[in-house]
Chain A
């Protein structure tokens, strides 16, 4: 028993091929570069003292200062240069460490980017990748060593931690969803798909109308997020779960606007990819056969020691510093020349400086009338059926048999005011309607009612109407439907 523990402990410190960590580093660098690049024109607004800095943790005493605009542009340009270095593997460990520090700094200044959890995932990935030898493959650093045909192997434990990170992400996400009752009813998915910030795609909009599919998908997502951390360690299940995980994230990518969350997770999932899985890719990448075989065999490997002379080390450090400084200077020069925020008083900046756009008085009157929604706008969905389930109705309510029941279920949008309701069941030939009063308090999200159609009810076409009002106001029609009562 003890020897097995010792074996496991030793295995933690064994070495493996650096190919997968290198691929993760390359893709992560490119992805973060894309994300940071799209924000770069807005550095003054997002990260400088001249903009609207939204600190992530306002009451946190260790909040980092926002720099003046020129310095913020310089630092962000340097950040882009560091991310390029991460992607191409130039002074890789130094680049990963600097990228980690700068990612934490910029995210602490912008709550919007922090609210998207991928920025935190990227911080964890950068941290653990810095302990691997991801510089030994697919990198500028490796080219130098390749001339000497030396490939250092990578320690195994950082990749184990990356695997643990992915499992923790899925488990945490599953707990969040299990705590939200709206996830099980499909409401959360539906509203997310409809939202014009997070959802908004055509496929998402189409999917949002498939209620029962959303309920099934909701449960499937929770099942997957719980199963993945448990079963991914079982070798026969690994590939199958990886395929499901990739499909899941590609699905999210297509239906929701989560920025780079999905590709970030796909990169994190690479932590579970082995040398054997990489075999197909290896054909396309120049490889060292001995290294591959050693990595596949697993144990008993030791890293090769590189022989960096202090002179070379400092020369490279100097070159790296020069590269980042040139990038920062170029960024400042470009930022001042473009002067998007009219911050530097340049000619192009003055051209874009338009403060206030005239609005016709008629339009202002219309805006300031502050028209509030009709009551029907608070009702997101009203559904009818002949059977009632948990926050759902089922069955075709267009034709109801005598002695059957018509169930009506309404989903309200929050926030909404407290309202008085009036349900009306109007019999055929405009007979005297049956009126059932009701109420909905400000926090309620669902209301339901059932109309039992007794044997002695007249056969024919019935109508159900729903009216609403706030206390003391006039009734407004909200919704109506018709159904046929048959024998």
Chain B
């Protein structure tokens, strides 16, 4: 009796697993991807995309006295990954909304410490370059042709905005209002 129950449970378990696998396999086959945990757990989509540009993201604030400080990545962003351990979690995956939320937090941290010279403006920037420049030989070719570090790496301002203090005493960034 116990053996029969055991066998029945095993058959149900195996059947459920195989059914889930087969279902999500056919969804993967036809290219139907849903942001659902179960589908993610049963979809084997290695190499889904690949970047053609390498990048690093950072933020700079301008204070009331006109000084500049690099505030991001800061103390809160210490985890690094990538081949050379230089990517913060905001370099990969590249998600602008998460980045701006983290920068807003960094602004608050900065304002709390620098009470005598509060931040007034913030720039969120990205330094980027073609992935081809990561290979040594290509990098050397770049340097020979331009003889300049700036020729390899480019910068774009992802977003910027003034920093204001709310009535509740919180420091807030008004994104997109230069």
Closest to B80 in A: A42
**Does residue B35 face the partner (Cβ distance < 8 Å to A)?**
yes
The total of interchain contacts (Cβ-Cβ below 8 angstroms) comes to 220
Contact of A370 with B155 in the complex, beta carbons under 8 Å = yes
CB-CB < 8 A to A169: which residues of B?
44
Cβ of A414 under 8 Å from chain B: yes
Say which residue of A58, A164, A191 sits within 8 Å of B52 (CB atoms).
A191
A471 on interface, CB distance cutoff 8 Å: no
- Asked whether, in the complex, the Cβ of A355 is within 8 Å of the Cβ of B110, the reply is yes
Give the docked Cα–Cα distance between A413 and B50 (Å): 11
Selected from A183, A209, A368, A414, the residue in CB contact (under 8 A) with B123 is A368
Query: In the complex, A120 Cα to B163 Cα: how many Å?
Result: 41
Contact between B44 and A380, CB atoms less than 8 A apart: no
Asked, given contacts A60-B37, A112-B93, whether A194 binds B110 with beta carbons under 8 Å apart, the answer is no
Is B116 part of the binding interface, using a Cβ–Cβ cutoff of 8 Å? no
Chain A residues within 8 Å of B61, by CB: 356
Docked Cα-Cα span, A194 to B137, in Å, equals: 12
A469: min CB distance to chain B, Å: 17
- B85-134 residues with Cβ-Cβ distance < 8 A to A are 86-87, 89, 91-93, 95, 98, 101-102, 105-106, 109-110, 112-114, 123, 125, 129-132, 134
Number of interface residues of B (CB under 8 A): 78
Closest beta carbon of chain A to B40's beta carbon, Å: 7
Evaluate whether A196 and B131 lie within 8 angstroms (CB atoms) in the complex, with A171-B44, A172-B44, A176-B45 already known.
yes
Interface of B is mostly: mixed
Please name all residues of chain A whose beta carbon is closer than 8 Å to the beta carbon of B29 when the two chains form the complex.
Answer: 175
Taking the complex as formed, is A359 at the interface, i.e. its CB lies under 8 A from any CB of chain B? yes
Distance A173 CA – B46 CA, assembled complex (angstroms) = 5
Whole-angstrom distance between the alpha carbons of A197 and B10 in the complex? 42
B60 within 8 A of A: yes
Contacts of B110 in A (CB 8 A): 355-356
> Contacts of B106 on A, CB cut-off 8 Å?
355
CB contact under 8 A between A359 and B68, given known A197-B81, A364-B60, A367-B125: yes
Please determine whether A196 and B82 come into contact, CB atoms closer than 8 angstroms. yes
Task: Find the residue from A41, A176, A201, A202 having the highest chain B CB count within 10 A.
Answer: A176
- Give Cα distance in the complex from A179 to B29, angstroms: 9
Apart from A172-B25, A356-B61: 8 A-B pairs, beta carbons within 8 A: A114-B40, A157-B10, A194-B134, A197-B91, A201-B83, A205-B135, A257-B83, A259-B81
B residues in contact with A56, CB < 8 Å: 37, 40
Q: Which of A320-328, A371-379, A452-460 contacts B (4 or more CB under 8 A)?
A: A371-379
Residue pair A191, B114 in contact (C-beta under 8 Å): no
Q: Write the B61-82 contact mask toward A (1 if CB under 8 angstroms, else 0).
A: 1000011111100111111011
The answer, yes or no, to whether A161 is at the interface (CB within 8 Å) is yes
For residue B73, give the distance in angstroms from its CB to the closest CB of chain A: 10
A111 proximal to B (CB < 8 A): yes
Are A171 and B25 CB-contacts (below 8 A) given A192-B50, A196-B83, A196-B134? yes
A404 at the interface (CB under 8 A from B): no
Give a binary string over A85-114; 1 marks a CB under 8 Å from any B CB, 0 the rest. Answer: 000000000000000000000001001101
**Among A46-54, A70-78, A269-277, A425-433, which stretch is in contact with chain B?**
A46-54
**In the complex the two chains form, what is the Cα distance from A108 to B40 in whole Å?**
11
Task: Indicate whether B31 reaches chain A with its CB closer than 8 angstroms.
Answer: yes
B105 to chain A: closest residue by CB = A52
Rounded to whole angstroms, the CA-CA distance of A186 and B48 in the bound complex is: 15
Closest to A155 in B: B10
Give the residues in chain A near B156, CB-CB below 8 Å. 370, 372
Shortest C-beta distance, B173 to chain A (Å), equals 15
* Sample (24) of A-B pairs whose CB atoms are under 8 Å apart: A13-B10, A45-B76, A45-B89, A52-B77, A52-B102, A54-B89, A60-B37, A124-B41, A161-B14, A170-B44, A172-B43, A176-B44, A188-B50, A208-B135, A257-B83, A342-B75, A355-B74, A355-B106, A355-B110, A356-B110, A357-B71, A360-B68, A368-B125, A381-B132
